[in-house]
Amino acid sequence: MCAENGDRKLCIICSKGSLDMAYPGLVLANAALMEGIDVIMFFTFWGLDIVNKKKMEHLKVTPIGNPSMGIPNSVAGLPGMTNLATVMMRREIEKLDFPLVEEFLQMIADAGGKLYGCKMSMDMMHLTRDDLFAEVEAVVGATDFMEMSEGAQIIFV
């Protein structure tokens, strides 16, 4: 699978399913596509939540264990803090006029980005193809992904 438009190809491995970890991969994929770079996104482990139809619009931000949030763990672990952090991040996303996760994925797919689920992670989490966002092209194994990513720049999120 060589790059259709030249030498540039980007593979983004999305391994985390929180709201704050979904957007970096989505933003990078969109930016690369706007620059004419071929994009493959591979969703593995908890990153499958980003393309799971039941979870994709309900991703959360977890403040505990996140030193960049500036909230001590003793406070971050209190009931309601995850919901508060999520609401705050969603407000900031809305202020910046960024699309919701599902809309972002659709934009990426419409622009020619390729979306794939990880077979091992799907099996481990007892998910089926029907659980995934419609634009996910296929569920593939690690060896298939290795073939797809040959010659690409790889970013692990």
In a domain, 36, yes or no: yes
Cα–Cα distance measured from residue 135 to residue 151, given in angstroms and rounded to the nearest whole number = 24
| Residue whose token pair is 């979904």 | 22
pTM: 0.90
Beta-carbon contacts of 136 under 8 Å, excluding residues fewer than 6 positions away, are 43, 51, 115, 116, 117, 129
Would you say residue 41 lies in a domain?
A: yes
Domain that holds residue 112: 9-57+100-156
Question: How far is the C-alpha of 71 from the C-alpha of 64, rounded, in Å?
Answer: 8
Residue closest to 27 by CA, chosen among 107, 133, 89: 107
Count of structural domains, the chain: 1
pLDDT, tens digit, 9 for 90 and up, residues 53-104: 999 999 999 888 888 888 888 888 889 899 999 999 999 999 999 999 999 9
Structural domain contains residue 70: no
